[in-house]
Chain A
């Protein structure tokens, strides 16, 4: 089999997964051309990633909720409310930001466990539980902000989360050296891992990619990581938002793809009664996914509040729907059991690249919504089609 044939076979087999990456690449190139390079400028890419951060974090949590055939509509206003609570704790009670962050995260976790209890133990549909949550958190957000209106957060450390960048080891250089080092380290880790995994497969006498294709794959992905690193490094370097998002994605990707817990989540989503008979505690999984979701909502609230450097009365509006759309664009299935966190991240990037690109082009906001809606339908249609053909 020639390398070309093998590549074609590989693309065909994984068309569903690669489709999204290709779509994202097409969007980036198209906007790059239409805005005369403005879209792909270092400054814009950096802004784009920082703007998407709080949605990406929600999309990660939403993915495993959707995989388990649930939905969580409450996370938008929960993020808004936890952001406001964080702001109040810092401004009115003088609590340090390093204490505030774990406090609201634990608060989010507890809220999520309560959701899990109502869904898993009491048997109330997640749609209803989270719709109720949406009302409740919206009300509470208004309640805590109505006296003061917008709460300005003066804490520099806190605001750096949404606006700041990691410090550089070499001050006043043209490019951000630490970002470059991290990027190179990332490429090295990626290559070492890939080689090790390939050797392991060979030890088991399993089929592996042919050597030329394997090298092509390594080079291709290394170039992408390197390119992004270079773009970021030539501006202000890695932002704290990107660091946090990367950490969340890596943790969740690892858990869902490599651990027993991940398997249990996909099993419950694929067929809950079969999962139960296989000894899996379905209720526990429900607690975990809702707990994690609301905890990530708190993280999202922190990111958003920090980005605006203030808590507002309408913070969090429609976040949940953006997160759900990201997950569906990213290949999650409403029938459960299917969807990856990396897919949802790409989905979130596709959606916010569209917004960002259209903003740069001066497209009216009314058209923007309609176009994003159309993209959502198209993405899911493509997904459904490729899945049908797979059968």
Chain B
């Protein structure tokens, strides 16, 4: 019989009104890489929270067994002692503290009552070597990129003698190269005997790395597939995830006739006084009516910075260049002027600067265009509810009502609200920054369908995306950026992942 390092038996967990987990069985073999997939809201995160003691023993039904012994955690500290370490999507590092302080945060190495700094640094160097990160341990976290920060989280876990490493969407915020490094590291750790559980939406990654794949749907275990023996395809996984087949991830759009150029930038140079250097060099770019233009490139290539510099320059850049919107020369000093000119921007960070999480759906949707629903500055709240209901229906936002607080919605539904907010200003040029990041296959498909509908109605869309297949699948034309420059422009018909990566890594 095979030995399971971890068994979760008949786990059920209820929240008021929702059964988040329904008799889930989850078994992990010693030393394997086990991927957990499922749509948002399928119960992956809840399951991992049960495992890591966030939901203590007694608040769920069922048993957790580690090496065959039933575990009863009363908190995270207990599960850590048992050798479980969880790395969340949102990194839990203290930006103002050094790398070594962060690694040993909570289990500091002391001599007497004072911290043994030399020993700490030496131990930090050891674990940093294990994760293959070459940084000075005295560097502050805030001076490192997300990729390095992710590795430090893993180093932190390793310093606690981890047996089971849980990674929640570890590559969501990473570029291709950092992602590959991270996946290689997980493989390396496997050789050293560490068992990993990885939650991911990126099915390519899952297939390339997993020994076993478990699919959750609606709080139930759908299946557990052995990926070492059989070749599993993306389609198979998707079928299990959504319960039906999606034959084409990128919906076809009818032949849209393209019109005039709606947005154009010429010789766009941007200097960022905060970092003291030029971040965009001589960018030339244009979009036509009815066209989806993709902007691809690695994280840090300057794509979001480009969008922000066009859309009202909220970061205080110094800009030199020409911007034409709907044939008129423009320069926006605040987002409201950009909105007035027919531009809208859907941010990549919907929680950080897209939505007001403590407010409800209707207030988020109406925020950027209150003028539309008010008279002499007084808001017609009935009209607001009606409009929000219309959007809720047409965008298929899943919520009990438009009075639902946005912070309680799933990622895909939040993204739809964020999109609605931008659409309610009735733009003719829409900039979408990572429109499908961290949302599930079903919601992605819906967003793509909406995008198609919008260009068919005559909108211009600029889509910034790190997902190469998405850029190729959805765009008409693609600009590739690297290090603040446009390094290539290709027709989507001629594009391939390989060609884009070549241009993106100059």
Q: Which A residues are CB-close (under 8 A) to B407?
A: 391
Instruction: Tell yes or no: B256 within 8 A of A by CB.
Output: no
Instruction: Tell yes or no: A169 within 8 A of B by CB.
Output: no
* Residue tally, chain A, CB below 8 Å to B: 28
The residue among A201, A260, A390, A391 with the most chain B CB atoms within 10 A of its own CB is A260
The answer on a CB contact under 8 Å between A279 and B379 is: no
The answer on a CB contact under 8 Å between B359 and A259 is: no
The answer on a CB contact under 8 Å between A275 and B356 is: yes
The residue among B338, B359, B405 with the most chain A CB atoms within 10 A of its own CB is B359
The answer on a CB contact under 8 Å between A260 and B374 is: yes
Q: Pick the contact of A270 from B358, B370, B382 — CB < 8 Å?
A: B358
Q: Which A residues are CB-close (under 8 A) to B298?
A: none
The answer on a CB contact under 8 Å between A259 and B378 is: yes
Known: A275-B367, A278-B368. A263 touches B356 (CB 8 A): no
Q: Which A residues are CB-close (under 8 A) to B366?
A: 263
Q: How far is the CA of A277 from the CA of B368 in the complex (A)?
A: 8
Known: A204-B382, A271-B356. A263 touches B367 (CB 8 A): yes
Instruction: Tell yes or no: B363 within 8 A of A by CB.
Output: yes
Q: Which B residues are CB-close (under 8 A) to A337?
A: 356, 358-359
Instruction: Tell yes or no: B339 within 8 A of A by CB.
Output: yes
The proximity string for B residues 421-446 relative to A, scoring 1 for CB distances below 8 Å and 0 otherwise, is 10001000000000000000000000
Residue of A at shortest CB range from B16? A389
Q: Pick the contact of B334 from A260, A271, A281, A390 — CB < 8 Å?
A: A281
Q: Which A residues are CB-close (under 8 A) to B378?
A: 258-259
Considering the complex, which residues of chain A in the window 272-292 have a beta carbon less than 8 Å from any beta carbon of chain B? Answer: 273-281
Instruction: Tell yes or no: B355 within 8 A of A by CB.
Output: yes
Instruction: Tell yes or no: A361 within 8 A of B by CB.
Output: no
The answer on a CB contact under 8 Å between A274 and B370 is: no
Q: How far is the CA of A390 from the CA of B353 in the complex (A)?
A: 24
The answer on a CB contact under 8 Å between A258 and B385 is: no
Instruction: Tell yes or no: A192 within 8 A of B by CB.
Output: no
The answer on a CB contact under 8 Å between B421 and A278 is: yes
Instruction: Tell yes or no: A34 within 8 A of B by CB.
Output: no
The proximity string for B residues 359-377 relative to A, scoring 1 for CB distances below 8 Å and 0 otherwise, is 1000100111011001001
The answer on a CB contact under 8 Å between A273 and B377 is: no
The answer on a CB contact under 8 Å between B336 and A279 is: yes
Residue of B at shortest CB range from A278? B368
Cβ of A178 to closest chain B Cβ, rounded Å: 30
The answer on a CB contact under 8 Å between A206 and B379 is: no
The answer on a CB contact under 8 Å between B347 and A277 is: yes
The answer on a CB contact under 8 Å between B368 and A279 is: yes
Q: Which B residues are CB-close (under 8 A) to A264?
A: 370
Known: A204-B385, A276-B335. A260 touches B355 (CB 8 A): no
Q: Tally A-B pairs: CB < 8 A.
A: 90
Instruction: Tell yes or no: A39 within 8 A of B by CB.
Output: no
Considering the complex, which residues of chain B in the window 336-352 have a beta carbon less than 8 Å from any beta carbon of chain A? Answer: 336, 338-340, 345, 347, 352
Q: Which A residues are CB-close (under 8 A) to B383?
A: 204
Q: Pick the contact of A274 from B312, B353, B408 — CB < 8 Å?
A: B353
Q: How far is the CA of A263 from the CA of B363 in the complex (A)?
A: 8
The answer on a CB contact under 8 Å between A274 and B356 is: yes
Q: Which B residues are CB-close (under 8 A) to A267?
A: 356, 359, 363, 367
Q: Pick the contact of A266 from B353, B355, B359, B405 — CB < 8 Å?
A: B359
Q: Which B residues are CB-close (under 8 A) to A206?
A: 382, 385
The proximity string for A residues 218-237 relative to B, scoring 1 for CB distances below 8 Å and 0 otherwise, is 00000000000000000000
Instruction: Tell yes or no: A338 within 8 A of B by CB.
Output: yes
Known: A204-B382, A260-B371, A263-B367. A276 touches B314 (CB 8 A): yes
Instruction: Tell yes or no: A200 within 8 A of B by CB.
Output: yes
Residue of A at shortest CB range from B363? A263
Q: Pick the contact of A204 from B311, B339, B386, B408 — CB < 8 Å?
A: B386
Known: A279-B334, A281-B336. A260 touches B368 (CB 8 A): no
Q: Pick the contact of A280 from B336, B338, B363, B386 — CB < 8 Å?
A: B336
The residue among B358, B368, B383 with the most chain A CB atoms within 10 A of its own CB is B358
Q: Which B residues are CB-close (under 8 A) to A263?
A: 363, 366-367, 370, 379
Residue of A at shortest CB range from B355? A274
Instruction: Tell yes or no: B43 within 8 A of A by CB.
Output: no
Q: Which B residues are CB-close (under 8 A) to A261?
A: 377
Q: Which A residues are CB-close (under 8 A) to B335?
A: 276-279
Instruction: Tell yes or no: B354 within 8 A of A by CB.
Output: yes
Q: How far is the CA of A273 from the CA of B351 in the complex (A)?
A: 10
Cβ of A278 to closest chain B Cβ, rounded Å: 4
Q: Which B residues are CB-close (under 8 A) to A260?
A: 370-371, 374, 377, 379
Q: How far is the CA of A68 from the CA of B354 in the complex (A)?
A: 17
Cβ of B45 to closest chain A Cβ, rounded Å: 15
24 of the cross-chain contacts (CB-CB < 8 Å) are: A200-B382, A204-B383, A258-B378, A259-B379, A263-B367, A267-B359, A267-B363, A270-B357, A271-B357, A273-B352, A274-B352, A274-B355, A274-B356, A277-B312, A277-B335, A277-B354, A278-B367, A279-B340, A279-B368, A280-B336, A280-B367, A281-B336, A337-B359, A391-B407
Interface, chain A (partner B; CB < 8 A): 200-201, 203-204, 206, 258-261, 263-264, 266-267, 270-271, 273-281, 337-338, 390-391
Closest 8 CB pairs of A and B: A279-B336, A273-B353, A270-B356, A278-B368, A260-B370, A271-B356, A279-B339, A204-B382
